[in-house]
């Protein structure tokens, strides 16, 4: 080994660069790229199978009511403060920012509309989705990952209980249902935040702000946001479950699963948000 | 040729449908993780209502073997017959039915930490057999008493118990559903000698009174002598010796001898040196 690479060693000896060690020949480059692409599709395939299995098994009895109630509390109720805070401050900052912008065109009357449309169509679902990805996605991945590593998932299976029905379906189902609920509440709180800033800081009249809000808002604005929220709830919970379920052994494995769950859910939320928006408003 | 070797040869024969079936029959089971050939063709026969103890060094693949039998790990090759039925590659539905026959004590306990102790013990009854929670509670209390735990712990959570107590709860959970075949992965590690003996008695009683078939993994030679009808030794991914427990002390197998005497020098150490492991 030393003989064959000695010539190269002489050149590299002074400063062995990382790149030189990783990429040594064009074939290696192709291999690395090919490997990445293959493992991406392998993961995609596994993820799709995982989703199919979750949906197929989740809709067949037995249903675990206690698990669903626990998840409603965990995913829904305990996310309320986070989503509420996000929404109220987003609404407030929106009012401030659009005021600085719109006074230059003498278009202060549009502020109410900008706030309500931005909140319902985009900001409430996306920001709530991202916040819930951080809160719920991480905790799902950590919990299920720990159960995997400590053989609790194996124990479930040996006790004739499907982990898909008992652990995964309740979480995914609840996430898909609860995120729209959270976002609806976020919509209201966000608009209220904009109202407070506009009326108490910017000096708008309460009545005209409210009527401007109602005038511009259409059902589709809210509904599209809620449908997005359902999609994001599905993404967050399924990614948390998937990464936790396939967690590698040891504490490091669980840590990596948690990170991957949050990162992949966040990116998928942003990507799918674009395509959903295109579908709704094209 | 001694009796142990003869028996091993009988075990190594191909499974056939004709003779009356053993409860559990592993034939040529192989499993590899990456470059680690953990199981290299396991042949093992376990007659009905007998208690078999498997001994073998740490990392020799005992736990992996159990997980293959339970279907938690799919073997790369080989067959596993349970009560005459091939179980490798079974459909999810059939596998689920088969699981009702099994009870398993995991090496690490594997208690559900979001559930109370009694809910852990009663889990198989409530979720698997749809027993009412109130009835399952009494069964759980009963089972907990059998493993030396009082009513007080029933409402605690697993994290509030010591390691040895968790192990006993796990044992109670494994036998709560009266399974036909029970696997105990190191049931007495982490227990004090008195409690270890209580558990040994419990395993013996379970086999004798419930007519269950038991496969126990242990490093504890006292436990081997107490619970085993038969003993098998796993070494380098294969069963190298299996015989009645009475023949353990004159096995005529130097690997078994080194293992049961716990001597630092012997063929196992020599092999490890040759392989560069020590
Ligand atoms: N899921 C897995 N992935 C990769 N390797 C594994 C896996 N499970 C077990 N192994 C490896 O298989 C080998 C055997 O492990 P196993 O747990 O069966 O040992 P054991 O005989 O039960 O040992 P001990 O007496 O210490 O419990 C070990 O080298 C272990 O690292
Ligand atoms: Mg083990």
ipTM: 0.89
CB contact under 8 Å between A155 and B70, yes or no, is: no
Q: Which residue ranges of chain A lie beneath pLDDT 70? A: 1-24
What's the pLDDT score for residue A247?
Answer: 94
Span from the CA of A241 to the centroid of ligand 2 (angstroms): 27
In angstroms, how far is CA B135 from the centroid of its own chain? 29
CB contact under 8 Å between A155 and B112, yes or no, is: yes
What's the pLDDT score for residue B146?
Answer: 87
B119 pLDDT above the threshold of 70: yes
What's the pLDDT score for residue A110?
Answer: 87
What's the pLDDT score for residue A19?
Answer: 60
Residues A55 and A87 in one domain: no
Specify the number of domains making up chain A. Answer: 2
C-alpha dihedral over A8, A11, A14, A17, to 10 degrees?
-70
Domains of chain B: 3-101+179-274 (3.40.50.300)
Residues A155 and A263 in one domain: yes
* Residues flanking ligand 1, CB < 6 Å: B 33, 36, 38, 56, 58-64, 107
Spell out the residues 6+ positions from residue A135 whose beta carbon is closer than 8 angstroms to its own. Answer: A78, A79, A82
What's the pLDDT score for residue B31?
Answer: 95
Residues A187 and A276 in one domain: yes
Residues A46 and A71 in one domain: no
Span from the CA of B69 to the centroid of ligand 1 (angstroms): 15
What's the pLDDT score for residue B276?
Answer: 79
* HSE value, Cβ hemisphere, 13 Å, CA-based, for A106: 0
Nearest CA to ligand 1 atom 4: B33
What range defines the domain where residue A44 resides? 1-60
Spell out the residues 6+ positions from residue A187 whose beta carbon is closer than 8 angstroms to its own. Answer: A87, A119, A120, A124, A222, A225
CB contact under 8 Å between B106 and A151, yes or no, is: yes
Which of A33-47, A257-271, B75-89, B237-251 has the largest mean confidence? A257-271
Which among A164, A154, A181, A179 has a CA at the least distance from the CA of A59?
A: A164
Q: How far is it, in rounded angstroms, from Cα A44 to Cα A38?
A: 10
What's the pLDDT score for residue A239?
Answer: 96
Residue with tokens 């990614």: A239
B29 pLDDT above the threshold of 90: yes
Q: A188: distance to nearest CA of chain B, Å?
A: 35
Spell out the residues 6+ positions from residue A62 whose beta carbon is closer than 8 angstroms to its own. Answer: A165, B127, B130
3-state secondary structure A83-143: HHHHHHHHHHHHHHHHHHHHHHHCCHHHHHHHHHHHHHHHHHHHHHHHHHHHHHHHHHHHH
Residues A123 and A13 in one domain: no
Last residue of a domain, one of A14, A36, A60: A60
**What mean pLDDT do residues B182-186 have?**
94
What's the pLDDT score for residue B252?
Answer: 87
What's the pLDDT score for residue A8?
Answer: 44
Residues A102 and A199 in one domain: yes
B142 pLDDT above the threshold of 60: yes
Residues A202 and A100 in one domain: yes
Nearest by CB to residue B128, choosing from A151, A152, A160, is A160
Q: Tell me the sheet residues that pair with B37.
A: B32
Nearest CA to ligand 1 atom 2: B33
> Using beta carbons and an 8 Å cutoff, which residues of B are at the interface with A?
67, 70-72, 92, 96, 99-100, 102-104, 106-108, 110-113, 123-124, 127-128, 130, 173, 177
Residues A229 and A105 in one domain: yes
Closest ligand 1 atom number to CA of residue B34: 4
Residues A96 and A34 in one domain: no
Closest ligand 1 atom number to CA of residue B56: 21
What six digits make up the tokens of A44? 């995609």
Nearest residue on chain A to B111, judged by CA atoms?
A152
What's the pLDDT score for residue A5?
Answer: 42
3-state secondary structure chain A: CCCCCHHHHHHHCCCCCHHHHHCCCHHHHHHHHHHHHHHHHHHHHHHHHHHHHHHHHHCCCCCCHHHHHHHHHHHHHHHHHHHHHHHHHHHHHHHHHHHHHHHHHCCHHHHHHHHHHHHHHHHHHHHHHHHHHHHHHHHHHHHHHHHHHCCHHHHHHHCCCCHHHHHHHHHHHHHHHHHHHHHHHHHHHHHHHHHHHHHHHCCCCHHHHHHHHHHHCCHHHHHHHHHHHHHHHHHHHHHHHHHHHCCCCHHHHHHHHHHHHHHHHHHHHHHHHHHHHHHHHC
Span from the CA of B40 to the centroid of ligand 1 (angstroms): 14
> How many contacts, defined by CB atoms under 8 Å, are there between A and B?
55
CB contact under 8 Å between B99 and A162, yes or no, is: no
Residues A102 and A187 in one domain: yes
Q: B124: distance to nearest CA of chain A, Å?
A: 5
Span from the CA of A153 to the centroid of ligand 2 (angstroms): 17
Span from the CA of B63 to the centroid of ligand 2 (angstroms): 4
Whose atoms come closest to the Cα of B234: which ligand?
1
Q: Which residue has the higher pLDDT, B215 or A25?
A: B215
Residues A120 and A254 in one domain: yes
Last residue of a domain, one of A60, A76, A93: A60
Nearest by CB to residue A150, choosing from B103, B110, B177, is B110
What's the pLDDT score for residue A1?
Answer: 38
Confidence of residue B84 (pLDDT cuts 50, 70, 90): confident
pTM score, whole prediction:
0.87
Last residue of a domain, one of A60, A80, A100: A60
Find the range with the poorest average confidence among A164-178, B1-15, B24-38.
B1-15
For residue B102, list chain A residues with Cβ-Cβ distance below 8 A: 158
Nearest CA to ligand 1 atom 3: B33
What's the pLDDT score for residue B93?
Answer: 84
Residues A137 and A32 in one domain: no
CB contact under 8 Å between B112 and A152, yes or no, is: yes
What's the pLDDT score for residue B8?
Answer: 64
């Amino acid at each position: 080994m030393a003989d064959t690479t000695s010539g190269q060693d002489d050149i590299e000896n002074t400063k062995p660069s990382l790149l030189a060690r990783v990429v040594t020949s064009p074939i290696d480059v192709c291999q690395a790229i090919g490997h990445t692409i293959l493992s991406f599709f392998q993961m995609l395939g596994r993820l799709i199978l995982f989703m199919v299995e979750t949906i197929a098994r989740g809709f067949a009895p037995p249903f675990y009511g206690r698990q669903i109630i626990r998840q409603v509390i965990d995913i829904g109720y305990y996310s309320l403060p986070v989503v509420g805070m996000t929404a109220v401050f987003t609404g407030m900052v929106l009012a401030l920012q659009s005021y600085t912008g719109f006074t230059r065109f003498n278009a202060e009357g549009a502020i109410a509309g900008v706030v309500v449309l931005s909140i319902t169509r985009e900001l409430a679902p996306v920001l709530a989705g991202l916040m819930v990805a951080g809160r719920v996605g991480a905790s799902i991945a950590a919990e299920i990952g720990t159960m995997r590593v400590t053989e609790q998932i194996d124990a479930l299976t040996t006790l004739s209980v499907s982990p898909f029905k008992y652990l995964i379906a309740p979480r995914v189902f609840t996430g898909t249902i609860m995120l729209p609920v959270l976002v609806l509440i976020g919509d209201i709180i966000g608009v209220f935040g904009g109202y407070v800033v506009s009326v108490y800081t910017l000096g708008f009249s309460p009545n005209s702000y409210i009527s401007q809000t109602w005038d511009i808002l259409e059902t589709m604005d809210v509904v599209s946001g809620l449908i997005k929220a359902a999609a994001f709830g599905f993404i967050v919970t399924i990614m948390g479950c998937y990464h936790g379920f396939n967690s590698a052994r040891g504490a490091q494995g669980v840590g990596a699963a948690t990170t991957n769950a949050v990162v992949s859910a966040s990116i998928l939320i942003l990507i799918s948000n674009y395509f959903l928006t295109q579908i709704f408003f094209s | 040729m001694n009796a142990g070797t003869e028996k091993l040869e009988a075990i190594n024969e191909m499974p056939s449908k004709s003779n009356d079936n053993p409860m559990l029959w592993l034939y040529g089971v192989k499993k590899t993780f990456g470059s680690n050939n953990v199981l290299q063709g396991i042949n093992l026969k376990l007659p009905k209502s007998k208690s078999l103890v498997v001994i073998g060094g740490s990392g020799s693949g005992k736990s992996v073997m159990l997980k293959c039998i339970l279907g938690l790990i799919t073997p790369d090759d080989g067959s596993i017959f349970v009560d005459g039925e091939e179980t490798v590659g079974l459909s999810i539905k059939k596998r689920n039915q088969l699981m009702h026959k099994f009870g398993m004590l995991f090496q690490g306990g594997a208690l559900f930490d979001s559930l109370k102790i009694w809910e852990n013990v009663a889990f198989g009854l409530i979720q698997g057999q749809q027993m009412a929670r109130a009835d399952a509670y009494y069964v759980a209390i009963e089972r907990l008493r059998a493993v030396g735990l009082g009513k007080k712990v029933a409402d605690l959570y697993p994290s509030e118990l010591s390691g040895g107590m968790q192990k006993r709860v796990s044992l109670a959970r494994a036998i709560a559903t009266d399974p036909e075949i029970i696997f105990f992965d190191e049931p007495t590690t982490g227990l004090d000698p008195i409690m270890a003996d209580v558990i040994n008695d419990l395993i013996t009683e379970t086999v004798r009174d419930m007519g269950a078939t038991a496969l126990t993994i242990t490093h504890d030679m006292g436990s081997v002598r107490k619970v085993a009808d038969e003993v098998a030794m796993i070494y380098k991914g294969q069963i190298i010796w299996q015989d009645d427990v009475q023949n353990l002390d004159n096995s005529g197998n130097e690997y078994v001898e080194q293992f049961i005497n716990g001597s630092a020098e012997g063929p196992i150490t020599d092999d490890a040196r040759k392989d560069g492991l020590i």
